[in-house]
Chains A and B, each alone.
Chain A
């Protein structure tokens, strides 16, 4: 499988009146063609800022991408997303990289019809004529499961329910047959039955179009059903990367272990007490010299307070940023 996106050591900071917010502190990952990678983390873990940095959507100032690279294997060859000019970025964003955000009502323009908004993408990126774009839009609408697409072409966003609006946003994302779709909490604002519909739709489209998906979420339940690999983030750093089955079966980072323990199980007959992670997430205003999870971690020992653990290999395609081997019950041997 060819790598389509390789992110290396991305660091993004925000210079605010309160101080420097260390939002993303060195994120590296790769995305293969047609693969679904989930990025999981709680609020403030840096998962959204990572994606905004890649898409060139960080407001600068106060934001600043301090270092890193993101080489994207585009149609015209390799390019570094972080070095592109705003014009070049606009060509890629919405074209070769589609995106779906959490809240469809603020993504869509309330005073343009659904049809105009989808056509716009096609005209802008593919150079279609208005008539061609209209035809293509109607096809897209039916592809994302909107009934009566010809009628709905002329509808406005307020006439749609939340789930239908998210379908429209997905239609825009896939309009130019992108190589990557970045979906930032696409189902969080939706009800559980509608969430299930959208997840199914994503899976269908992914398989039909062969597009790679980066799925950002805080919900480990959703991840289990859609992702092939998972990146867990904490305090602006990746703490674990693994194939989905390995992550759930044998989590190697204490934070991942805690997150999984905090989820109630639907199958259990007797409810066990939930495992809670003590304390609260780190304050990103303070630059850390040690493991960001140390003060919430039951396994922390001297070394965890002295240096930041790097990602190390702990199994087949499985990396974790922890000095402690949970299964062995002691520090990793170097």
Chain B
């Protein structure tokens, strides 16, 4: 089991700060494979990292959380990945008992009721399976980028992930712009999620995302109906930042929904 010390990890982060994404990916694969995987949710960034990693090591691992509410286009892309790269994305599912209890108690579309219900839904459908997937890893790749959100500018390319048991979190595209992501996709003919062609700016669950017209606030592509919701980026889901989990703890602490929702 390879674990980095806090000091080592952040000094490495500074060393790799000036190096291209490929070097970061290559470092992580050398050190951690097969105990490193890409958290794949069908975003453009995920496809860039997957392509990049595959060129370095075709055995690269990727996992996806199938929340049960995803778009067909995302499943189609998953299949394309299998065809083109020969990579079987490891799909993890939520606990059926938890979801059954939640749906029985609050209905299948509870997310539209109130922020606390939506966050409960995120927790059971997405966060818990994610945590389970990460618990078997020493490191993971995310597609987080600094420009996605003005409060996210201190993301480092290599971090210790205190939200997930101090494994290493690798963010190779931290300093990439959206243009660079799409240029890479075009140049290397990387398959991408067709939802982007329908003006989606963010890929997530079907009930919670929608297309964003040019000029519209990208945040309106996610959870647009919510009032008094935590201010969030709305692009790449903040679950990967750990920020989501901190917000979740704060909101669910106030709300009574947690125990009932997850009751077995």
Question: Does A associate with B in a complex?
Answer: no
**Residues of chain B whose beta carbon lies under 8 Å from any beta carbon of chain A:** none
